[in-house]
Structure 1
């Protein structure tokens, strides 16, 4: 289970980084609304991880194991992407801090470094959405035949 979650978490992080670099190359990285696609990339990684895990256990996936695979995938991908973003901001582009900063959530008097703010925001976004995506995906993958109960 852990091996699958980490493997797909790394692959998802690579996809998130590639997407960010593509947006930066096209001059679109400052458009906050495009971060929505990060969620779709994360969802694809989680679904592929759960599907792969289900195949590895011959279709007999236990609900909490599948939920764990998806959540581990999300955590791995989010941590790697957040670390990349902090390094990118510190080394290449400090102006990205304004785009990603969430200081308004913490107030102006808090003495929190910008790197910590970015890391916390990305972690909260990624882990919470990843858990919800895993929960939703497991509604589909928990059944061996992938059919909705009561459907013909």
Structure 2
């Protein structure tokens, strides 16, 4: 379970970093609405991790093992992505911090602790969404036949 969560967490973090760099390259980093796709990347990573765990464990797959795998994936992916963003913010000369300050996501004063602010916000956002995605995905994966009740 841990190895699968770690593997898919690394892949999820790579996907999030690649998406961020693509948005930066295209010039769409300032479009807040595109952050929604971070959730989709996280959902794909978590669902693939749970599916891989179910395939590996077969009959020993439990509900909480699936949620645990999803959470490990979300935590690893989120911590790595948040770490990348803090390093990026420090190396990019404050461009990201200026954009976030202009939008007033963090109030008036962000200059003093941009790393802590970025890291904590991304952690909260990623871990909470990762838990919700794990819970939702397990509603599907907990059933053996993957069909809704009373369906043909």
SS in 2 for 1:57: helix
1:81 and 2:84 matched: no
Deviations 1:14-73 (A, max 9, x none): 000000000000000111111010000000000000000000012542000000000110
CA-atom RMSD, angstroms? 1.8
Aligned to 1:132: 132
Larger displacement relative to structure 2 (31-40 or 93-102) = 93-102
Aligned positions, number: 149
Q: Tell me the CA shift for residue 93 of structure 1.
A: 4.0
Aligned to 1:39: 39
The answer to whether the 8 A contact 1:60-1:144 is kept is: no
Question: What's the TM-score once normalised by structure 2's chain length?
Answer: 0.91
Aligned to 1:98: 98
Q: Summarize the Cα distance change of 1:116–1:146 in structure 2 as closer, same or farther, 3 Å threshold.
A: same
The answer to whether the 8 A contact 1:32-1:99 is kept is: no
Question: What's the TM-score once normalised by structure 1's chain length?
Answer: 0.91
Aligned to 1:66: 66
Q: Which runs of 5+ in 2 are unaligned?
A: none
Q: Tell me the CA shift for residue 103 of structure 1.
A: 2.1
Deviations 1:59-97 (A, max 9, x none): 542000000000110000000000000001101241101
